[in-house]
Amino acid sequence: MNLLGWVIFLLALTFSVTLHEAGHFVMAKKFGMKATRFFVGFGPTVWSTWRGETEYGVKALPFGGFVKIIGMHSLDDPDDPEDEPRSFRQQPGWQRIIVLCAGSFMHFVLAFVLVAGLVLTIGIENDNTTQLGTIATCVAPTVADLNNQTCGSSKQPSPAVLAGLRVGDTITSFNGKPVSNWTQLSNAIKGAAPGSAVTMTVLRDDHTLTLRTKAAKVRGRSGGYIGIVPTTAFQVASPLGAVTYAGSFFGQQLSGTARTIGALPSSIPKLFNKSQSATNGQVTSMVGVAEVTGQAVAADVGWRIKVEFIVLLIAAINIFVGVFNLLPLLPLDGGHVAAIVWERIRAWFARLRGRPDPGLVDMRKLVPVMFSIFMILVFFGVLVMLANIINPVSLGQ
């Protein structure tokens, strides 16, 4: 099952990167630029075919894809001088910026579609409900026993058992106060003094019941204890609700990505901590994400929970990659966008001074900058991978 998780992640990675390159490719074609190659994967060519002026194909290593647009990233002149007018570098600045940003845009579209589709079909996990999914059989002596879901040496039946509560019951009020979600019910239970009598209104099979019991005490835990856990329900949304949820998810991930990128320098000393978790915002690599995907597939939970976790994880990764790729750093797409913006600003100043347009930014002069940043990114990527291998990432602590 862990191997299946790795396969799922690699397929998702390949699809995401291919979609990224497709964004560049489609917009370049739209603006009349010449694109000579579009391949899925890297390495030796397994299959290819020509359609017009473009060669489409599949490479042996399914780790992404690439597109070749004349004059886009190469510093060399095109093989055929007649292609120069259709090269990337000869097009208006706004068209080049759109082509460069189209890759990240496709990551954002994929993330939005994945989340909206998940909500429309499977639904989103919701445990903030008053419907009961677990009834504890005893009163755990300590919080440690409670967290481990064991009775320890206790023989005392839980208040839930004494009250006659059953899995599937929905509690609608507690001590006379209406409750509509687990947050309200949990706060009401904690507010009940241990040993005090409590009354619950319960909906069971379309019948309303009134059940009574006494709140118990768990050593190390404040407030009362009943011995109930809410069920996990999946709520399918309407099309409008799906769009709203996807938009909210997108906004949360954008802010989270900004915090993660901002914290990258300070995260380096923490990379080799033994408690690496995928749920606490720590930086991880493809190795770590693949490992977590494998854990999710192998977890002893329902298939809906597995699908939800993997889909949301893939969506979050696409948002992160899309944002990171737009950073104004060469050789990232955002760095090339910044160069074009500077080129246009420089041309504007030249016009104000009555001088000719200085033309394109000389990328040859920026090669040392590109190489330095590239090496930093590679070093950091290898460091994170090494940390994930030494201390494998877990779903949570």
Query: Which residue(s) pair with 61 in the sheet?
Result: 42
Show Cβ contacts of residue 69 under 8 Å, excluding neighbours closer than 6 positions.
Answer: 24, 25, 28, 33, 34, 35, 36, 88, 99
Q: Is the dihedral of CA 105, 108, 110, 116 positive or negative?
A: negative
Does 21 qualify as catalytic in the annotation?
yes
From residue 360, how far is each of 73, 90, 239, 332, 364 by CA, in Å? 13, 9, 46, 18, 11
Please tell me which residue in 21, 53, 55, 308 is annotated as part of the active site.
Answer: 21
Backbone angles phi and psi of 265, in degrees to 5: -60, -40
The answer to whether residues 109 and 16 touch, using CB atoms and an 8 Å cutoff, is no
Distance (Å, whole) CA 17 – CA 11 = 10
Residues acting as catalytic residues? 21
